[in-house]
Structure 1
């Protein structure tokens, strides 16, 4: 079509009658004038704003889309089982003071596959609610949760997914990346089990919240494959995941808030070193003032006795 417009313009510019040229080329006047006003580059531009990786709040803070997705999942499980994306938009504005429109909520819901017609896809794997435990040894209950960091120099978020043993307080393994999906969470669990040599046992429970990484079929299927029981805490009960929440608070207060990262590489190195120091240097009163690594090795040798943990 653009070729015909170019040919027509060429002959018209040489003085030939416009009506005759357009009739010979086979182009209507309206099409010819439209293409003159809208060149190919403009026609190929679909318009609209590019998608963003974060959402702004009323007080000017930026929240990552992964956090918004987690809030969407919590809203659906807690109160919005029959909400469409319009109501979810208003719920996000009311509860979390987000400046967000329904189109973005629709897109995030579509990425999570939780739009209303698909919401019946619950349960190939029924949800196991967190129950009370009394933990008396290592490798019985691990907690996992997602933490967000911000890279100022690149204006984007990165994600930290640590796993803590609630008895000996060791961060058994962790994932740091610019993305964190169900596959990353499953790989981190598998790596942690390999480190502790508990692969294939039936005694280990891993506890999470209702984030999108943990409600996915892939994560549940992976836990079944690994021989680990996965349980999720009820919505709005972070105290059920207290140990990993406490670690994430320490990570925020003593590491993330004290650095203004200029690159992902800098953020990765800093956070990795902090986790290593947490395991090897930081002492805990609950471990009789040993570091987590020391406590784990002493517990394995039966040289240390600490109180059981009730969760």
Structure 2
């Protein structure tokens, strides 16, 4: 509240009183009551102007300290209401700021400072977004591809022309409870590792390995997996009750008639791989057969990775009643793996799409445009359909 007289004017009144002017005359002159004059006299009596200024400065400082103490006590009470738990997300901080403002009457600025939240974030209002169609399509793709995580689902949505930020897709993926449960543990190699050499063209190196599973009646069957290490294509998945060493050259000859002869084949030291039939075939054809070190499956990493995907996305998903059913389901999955399934090491392209782009002498970088990939995907489906006689 602004005072009527300054400190200098009040001291001037007191000086006049001390000089002999009566109090009643001073009160009449300045228009104040007797009580007000004597209050001025009690407070400023014996002071000069400099003393009054110092007193005013001390009073202002004292009032400032009182306000600071009151603010600190109020902030302390507000912090206690916020609790000891960290406020991590903006939504949680917004709720905490509103609660503090309602309980303690704090301003928006002070409440945001206590919650470590910028005022622009507090004032932000979410725009209404209709994600119903996106959520529905995400659930449909997740039901079709039960072992795909949100990254591969994101690639599939991009192929359909749905542009969505990967962070938003992950949030929707979590809210829809589509998280894939991990199966089993992962064995990690100890000691030093030497990186495997990656070929730079198709048919430069193939990898072979076996996978086994069982029918519903308990009888076992085996799958011979052949993978091109450059294009990551699954060249063949031969399914039978028994796959001997004499059978392997016949399957390789059939595959070579379709795709051409590789420079090298990599495999482990299984009895089928080291049989006389395989060694004689390798010598007759001139194909260099390389055996990995015993107990070092990471040296045959490409086909081992394919085996893991085959086990996780196909063999564990189905119960096979007989050999014909197993061959049909596994071959259908192989075609889908080559033509549809995104491969992260190929920039999200399917292996056969990448191979077609490479054969057409187009840039085989991981930054290929999705339009070219979609066109190559159509060509790849037609090729696989003609080669195998069916496609589902």
The normalised TM-score by structure 2 is 0.42
Equivalent-residue separation in structure 1 for 2:365 and 2:256 (angstroms): 23
Please tell me whether the aligned partners of residues 149 and 256 of structure 1 are also in contact (alpha carbons under 8 angstroms). Answer: yes
In the alignment, which of 190, 201, 220 is matched to residue 137 of structure 1? 201
Q: In 2 relative to 1, CA 132–286 (structure 1 residues): closer, same or farther, beyond 3 Å?
A: closer
Q: Choose between structure 1 and 2: higher strand proportion.
A: 1
Deviations 1:40-74, CA, capped at 9 Å, x for gaps = xxxxxxxxxxxxxxxxxxxxxxxxxxxxxxxxxxx
Aligned-pair distance for 1:174? 3.0
Match of 1:253 in 2: 312
In the alignment, which of 240, 243, 251 is matched to residue 302 of structure 2? 243
* 1:1-311 equivalent positions in 2, closer than 5 A: 133-153=197-217, 155-198=218-261, 204-306=263-365
> 4+ runs of 1 displaced by more than 4 Å?
none
Q: In 2 relative to 1, CA 277–215 (structure 1 residues): closer, same or farther, beyond 3 Å?
A: same
Equivalent-residue separation in structure 1 for 2:292 and 2:359 (angstroms): 29
2:222 aligned counterpart, secondary structure: strand
Match of 1:108 in 2: none
Please tell me whether the aligned partners of residues 286 and 306 of structure 1 are also in contact (alpha carbons under 8 angstroms). Answer: no
Q: In 2 relative to 1, CA 216–281 (structure 1 residues): closer, same or farther, beyond 3 Å?
A: same
Aligned-pair distance for 1:134? 4.3
Please tell me whether the aligned partners of residues 238 and 245 of structure 1 are also in contact (alpha carbons under 8 angstroms). Answer: yes
Please tell me whether the aligned partners of residues 205 and 231 of structure 1 are also in contact (alpha carbons under 8 angstroms). Answer: yes
Gaps (5+ residues) in structure 1? 1-130
Equivalent-residue separation in structure 2 for 1:299 and 1:271 (angstroms): 26
How well do the aligned residues superpose, as a CA RMSD in angstroms? 2.0
Aligned-pair distance for 1:133? 3.7
Deviations 1:275-304, CA, capped at 9 Å, x for gaps = 111111111122122111111111111213
Equivalent-residue separation in structure 1 for 2:339 and 2:227 (angstroms): 14
Match of 1:21 in 2: none
Which of the pair has the greater relative contact order for Cα pairs under 8 Å at 6+ separation? 1
The normalised TM-score by structure 1 is 0.53
Please tell me whether the aligned partners of residues 203 and 260 of structure 2 are also in contact (alpha carbons under 8 angstroms). Answer: no
Q: In 2 relative to 1, CA 214–273 (structure 1 residues): closer, same or farther, beyond 3 Å?
A: same
Equivalent-residue separation in structure 1 for 2:314 and 2:237 (angstroms): 16
Aligned-pair distance for 1:253? 0.6
Aligned-pair distance for 1:132? 6.0
Gaps (5+ residues) in structure 2? 1-194, 367-392
Please tell me whether the aligned partners of residues 140 and 205 of structure 1 are also in contact (alpha carbons under 8 angstroms). Answer: yes
1:289 aligned counterpart, secondary structure: coil
Q: How many residues align?
A: 173
